[in-house]
Amino acid sequence: MKELEDTSAESRPTHTAPGETRELFVLTAGGQAFAVRAEEAEGLAEGLSPAPLPHAPAAVLGVVSVRGHMRTLLYLPALFSQADAPEGVPRFVVALRGDEQLALAADSVEGVVAFDADSFSLSDSPDSPPDATLEHEGRRVRLLDASRLFDAAMRGTERRRPRA
């Protein structure tokens, strides 16, 4: 698995000054462009085959093992439309930092791209994982809040409860 440059939250200011840039990790899936904050992306792997999960929501392709940790693999287009899961193995898997142990399936990866922090505003909506929509190289990029992805993928499904 390819390591990404350390862009941990401790090394980044929480507020941006006018004219400052913010680094985002950009990927494409299903012909759509998505981004997460660079500090949320932990690494990149190729050719991992997900183990399917029975009765999983459309956005969940299954689980993959990344560096000995099982991660839930999400297909982002299914979070925003009735997109079908892709056939076969995703070309790239982007592992995310965080307690949810998530990974994102990607057709292509642009990697870390610097954006003008003034070019987008963050959303406070708890109902959806996108923070903002950006324009990059003539196309729309959805900036996602990684902390909301699992809940968005599980929306409409009931999680199992432990037996008493």
Q: So where are the chain's domains?
A: 26-154
pLDDT reported for residue 116: 79
pLDDT in 10s for each residue of the chain, 164 residues:
555 544 343 333 334 455 688 899 999 999 999 999 999 999 999 989 999 999 999 899 999 999 889 999 999 999 887 777 788 889 999 999 999 999 999 999 999 999 876 666 555 555 556 667 888 778 889 999 898 899 888 875 544 444 44
Name the one residue in this structure whose structure tokens are 């902390």. Answer: 147
Domain 26-154 top-level CATH class:
mainly beta
DSSP-based three-state secondary structure for 21: strand
User: Which residues, at least 6 apart from 39, have a Cβ–Cβ distance to it below 8 Å?
Assistant: 7, 8, 9, 11, 12, 23, 97
CA distances from 13 to 8, 9, 20, 161 (A): 10, 8, 11, 39
Backbone phi, psi, residue 62, to 5°: 140, -155
Instruction: Tabulate helix, strand, coil % of the chain (nearest 5).
Output: 15, 40, 45
CA distances from 124 to 1, 121, 130, 147 (A): 33, 10, 10, 12
Q: Which two tokens stand for residue 164?
A: 């008493």
